[in-house]
Amino acid sequence: MKTLTLKNIPDDLAIILGDIAKQKHQSIDETAIQVIRQSLALFQVNKRNRNLSVFFGGWSKHDAEDFENKISIFERVDEELWRK
């Protein structure tokens, strides 16, 4: 892997990047790589991309686990209901 150093990053961008990293429980490096990948994907005309997270954002690992826990009740089968 290559190492890339960015200089003269505007304060507002650094703040936003830091905020996104905190929300996703990621390092700023991981977040910057994701943002760059998503941005470059918009320019890849030949690739069909169905991932809408570029437009709507994504869930942090914590948010996804919380959602899965909350909907797990809907995966249970009520045996008594099925017997009727």
**How confident is residue 51, by pLDDT bands cut at 50, 70 and 90?**
low
- Is residue 45 predicted with pLDDT exceeding 80? no
Tell me what pLDDT residue 18 has: 93
- Is residue 84 predicted with pLDDT exceeding 90? no
Question: Inter-axis angle of helices 11-24 and 28-41, to 10 degrees?
Answer: 100
Tokens of 83: 């017997």
> Residue 19: helix, strand or coil by DSSP?
helix
DSSP result, 39-59: HHHTT-SSS----THHHH---
Tell me what pLDDT residue 15 has: 93
